[in-house]
Structure 1
Amino acid sequence: MFVHVVDDEIYLKLVDQNDAVRLFELTDRSRCHLRQWLPWLDDTNNVNNTRQYIKESRDSFARHKSMNTAIVYKDEIVGVAGFNEFDWNNRSGSIGYWLDNHYTGRGIIVRSVGALTNFAFTELKMNRVEIRAAKENIKSRAVAERLGFQLEGFIRDGEWLYDHFVDHAVYGMLAREWEGFNSSSETAK
């Protein structure tokens, strides 16, 4: 089973069926908070929907198409972060994430996404990592910016959210840029 230690408070582990109840509880109690930016909330009405998501995630991981991990903070699952998809031909991956609203403001997502980015470049030998966020989703965009991702542009009407389209901001990081950013951020600590 995949487990990746981020720091002394956080680790990432591949989602599994034992996480279904907890992930559904987080989804349900953060529904209003998450629904503003994520299109799948209306399709997650019960724990069986979460079990199906986990099954599909595990199947996709087995086929090397994606990797969804539970974010474990101080021994509690608090959200999900992972690679929504891998493009092995072009050595790139796309990171997505969400966090229970009770755990925001603690740097959990920045640390988790930073660890996934580092994993992509050092372990998976990716050349590019991408993050997309709704143009108006300032908090999610701040994660990419804080980690040194470059804003590459906007996709107009990039995603349908329930009753309207939202534009997407596209951020990218290349392996050679991460090396420089990562070493300069280590020096700044």
Structure 2
Amino acid sequence: MIGTVSKTKDLAATEQFLKDIDEKRIKREYFTYLVIDNSTNEFIAFFYLKNADWSIPEIEIGCYTDENFAGKGVTTKAMNLFVDYCFETFDFKKIRLRMHHSNTAAQIVAERCGFELEGTIRMDYMTTAGEIVDLTYYGRLK
């Protein structure tokens, strides 16, 4: 989420960020979804699809949940619905999740949603601070 925040510091930057996202959507490279409480219109979570390999086809899901909804099972329920949507709508054969090994909340959601631990890739991601970190991978087949 730090990368998103850094790209939306002011209105002009936010407009450009949204334009870039829309261009990526048209190219089928990046898709964004919001989870909103229907009764209050309150933001709950942000899901996105990226790093598609349409030849398999497989994709990676990313998710951020508002801290007011964390730990209440909302993310798990939304993730299960979203994964089903992705399999049905895009006909993916595999969906990936990857996370820092210290993100135990994400690991719990992954396991509760039927994802299986596939392993850790060393030095797999550079953070916005420039640190290269290992990531833990989970996968779920259709």
Instruction: Report the alpha carbon displacement of residue 80 of structure 1 after superposing the two structures with TM.
Output: 1.0
* 1:98-126 per-position Cα deviation (integer Å, ceiling 9, x unaligned): 12212212222212221221112222111
Contact (CA 8 Å) 1:133, 1:170: kept in 2 or not? yes
Q: Distance in 1 between matches of 2:13 and 2:74?
A: 25
Name stretches of at least 5 consecutive residues in structure 2 with no aligned partner.
none
Indicate how the Cα distance of structure 1 residues 47 and 135 shifts in structure 2: closer, same or farther if over 3 A, else same.
Answer: farther
Contact (CA 8 Å) 2:35, 2:46: kept in 1 or not? yes
Q: Distance in 2 between matches of 1:149 and 1:80?
A: 19
Name stretches of at least 5 consecutive residues in structure 1 with no aligned partner.
1-33, 176-189
Q: Give the 4+ runs in structure 1 shifted more than 6 A.
A: none
Partner of 1:151: 117
Q: Distance in 2 between matches of 1:170 and 1:41?
A: 24
Q: Larger helix proportion, structure 1 or 2? A: 1
Superposition TM-score, scaled by structure 1 size: 0.66
More moved, 114-123 vs 125-134: 114-123
Task: Please give the secondary structure, in 2, of the residue aligned with 1:103.
Answer: coil
Task: Please give the secondary structure, in 1, of the residue aligned with 2:84.
Answer: helix
Partner of 1:29: none
Q: Aligned ranges for residues 61-100 of structure 1 at < 5 Å? A: 61-74=25-38, 75-100=41-66
CA RMSD between the two structures: 1.9
Task: Please give the secondary structure, in 1, of the residue aligned with 2:81.
Answer: helix
More moved, 163-172 vs 103-112: 103-112
Provide the aligned length of Structure 1 versus Structure 2.
Answer: 139
Taking only the aligned residue pairs, the percentage that are identical comes to 22
Q: Distance in 1 between matches of 2:131 and 2:118?
A: 23
Matched, 1:171 2:131: no
Task: Please give the secondary structure, in 2, of the residue aligned with 1:78.
Answer: strand
Contact (CA 8 Å) 2:86, 2:92: kept in 1 or not? yes
* 1:30-79 per-position Cα deviation (integer Å, ceiling 9, x unaligned): xxxx5xxx545444423443333222222111122221111212322233
Partner of 2:91: 125
Q: Which amino acid aligns with 2:135?
A: H
Q: Which amino acid aligns with 2:19?
A: K
Indicate how the Cα distance of structure 1 residues 103 and 49 shifts in structure 2: closer, same or farther if over 3 A, else same.
Answer: farther
